[in-house]
C-alpha cells in the first residue's frame, strides 16, 4: 500500500533488546513458526570460530518451556545429538537459547496500522468481525477454521510488518479454504511459504479503495476465484508441533556449533 496509507516507521526497539547480553550463547528468536537466524543478517560480521566443544550433545534452552517434559528429539523426530530443556538455571551451559517473539517484544507500534487499515477498508466493503471486538466464537479447537470456511476471503492482518513475522492468521485462512488477504512483511517474504497466486497482498494496490474493488471483482468472477485457489491441487499443508520446532532449532544450533555471529546494531538487524 503506497499512497493513502504509509507504514509506521520508528525506532521503538532501541533498548528493548538490552537483555541480549548473551555471553557465549547463541541467541535465537522464533517469531510464530519461522526462525530468524542471525547469520542471515546483512549487518552481521562474518562468522568467527570459538573454542571447540568436546561434548557431542547440544543443549538448547527453550525459554517458554514450562510445566511439561521436553521432547525427545531422536525418539520422535530422528534428530540426533540434541537435548531440550526448559530449566533456566542451565542458561550458562546451554549452546543456544530459544525465545518466541512474545518473550521479547509484547507490543509493536505497527499494530495500530492494521486497525487503521481495517477502518479504511470497511468504508468500501462489508467486513464481519469475530472475537472480543465482534461475534464471539464458540470455545474449542478448530472454531476459527470452521468459521473461515463460510467466507471467500479472510483478512490475515499481522500486528507487525517485519521479516518472517507470519503467524497462524495466514494458515487459518489456508486451512479454512479462504483466499488470504495479507498485511505484514513483503510479498516476496510471503512467497517463501505460498505460491504467489495463493494470497492477495495489500501492497499490490496503490490505495485501499483499489484493493476493495479487486476483492469485489474476484468475488463475482469464477475464473479469478479458480486462479487464486487452483494451487491447492498441487500442494498439501504440513503442520509441525512446537516440539518438532524445538528439535529443528537445536539441529541448526548443532550445525553452527563452534561459530558465532556478531550483530553490532540489533535494531538494524531486526528491521532488515
Which sign does the torsion angle of CA 271, 105, 2, 176 carry?
positive
| Residue found by looking up cell 548473551 in the block | 22
β-pairing verdict for 200-201 and 259-260: unpaired
| Residue found by looking up cell 507470519 in the block | 166
Domain ranges of the chain: 16-105+241-271, 111-233
pLDDT > 80? residue 201 = yes
In angstroms, the CA 84 to CA 61 distance is: 6
In angstroms, the CA 258 to CA 58 distance is: 11
Q: How confident is the model over 95-114, as pLDDT tens digits? A: 999 987 665 554 555 558 88
Which three-class secondary structure state does DSSP give residue 87?
coil
Tell the burial category of 217 from Cβ atoms under 10 Å away from its Cβ (0-12, 13-18, 19+): exposed
Q: How confident is the model over 58-93, as pLDDT tens digits? A: 999 999 887 778 889 999 999 999 999 999 999 999
φ, ψ for residue 33 (rounded to 5)? -125, 5
Percent of the chain with pLDDT over 70: 75
In angstroms, the CA 79 to CA 12 distance is: 38
Q: Categorise residue 131: left if φ over 0, alpha if ψ from -120 to 50, beta otherwise.
A: left
Just give the CATH number of 111-233.
3.40.50.11660
Q: What is the band of 237 on the pLDDT scale with cuts at 50, 70, 90?
A: confident
Tell me the CA end-to-end span of the chain in Å, nearest whole number: 19
pLDDT reported for residue 140: 80
Using only C-alpha atoms, the chain has a radius of gyration, in whole angstroms, of 21
Amino acid at each position: 500500500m503506497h499512497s493513502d496509507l504509509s507504514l509506521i516507521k520508528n525506532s521503538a526497539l532501541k533498548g528493548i533488546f538490552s537483555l541480549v547480553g548473551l555471553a557465549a550463547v547463541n541467541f535465537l528468536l522464533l517469531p510464530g513458526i519461522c526462525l530468524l537466524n542471525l547469520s542471515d543478517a546483512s549487518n552481521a560480521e562474518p562468522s568467527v570460530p570459538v573454542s571447540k566443544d568436546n561434548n557431542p550433545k547440544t543443549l538448547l534452552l527453550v525459554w517458554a518451556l514450562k510445566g511439561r517434559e521436553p521432547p525427545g528429539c531422536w525418539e520422535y523426530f530422528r534428530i540426533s545429538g540434541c537435548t531440550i530443556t526448559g530449566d533456566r538455571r542451565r542458561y550458562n551451559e546451554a549452546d543456544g537459547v530459544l525465545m518466541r517473539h512474545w518473550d521479547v517484544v509484547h507490543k509493536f507500534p505497527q499494530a495500530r496500522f492494521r486497525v487503521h487499515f481495517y477502518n479504511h477498508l470497511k468504508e468500501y466493503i462489508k467486513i464481519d468481525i469475530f472475537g472480543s471486538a465482534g461475534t464471539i466464537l464458540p470455545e474449542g479447537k478448530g472454531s476459527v477454521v470452521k468459521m473461515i470456511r463460510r467466507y471467500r476471503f479472510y483478512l490475515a492482518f499481522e500486528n507487525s510488518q517485519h521479516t518472517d513475522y507470519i503467524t497462524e492468521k495466514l494458515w487459518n485462512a489456508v486451512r479454512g479454504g479462504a483466499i488470504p488477504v495479507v498485511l505484514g512483511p513483503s510479498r516476496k517474504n510471503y512467497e517463501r511459504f505460498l505460491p504467489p497466486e495463493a494470497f492477495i497482498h495489500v501492497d499490490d494496490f496503490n490505495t485501499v479503495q483499489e484493493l476493495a474493488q479487486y476483492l469485489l471483482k474476484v468475488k463475482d468472477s469464477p475464473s479469478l476465484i479458480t486462479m487464486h485457489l487452483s494451487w491447492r491441487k498441487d500442494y498439501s499443508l504440513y503442520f509441525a508441533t512446537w516440539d518438532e520446532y524445538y528439535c529443528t532449532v537445536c539441529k541448526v544450533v548443532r550445525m553452527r556449533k563452534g561459530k558465532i555471529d556478531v550483530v553490532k546494531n540489533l535494531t538494524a538487524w531486526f528491521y532488515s
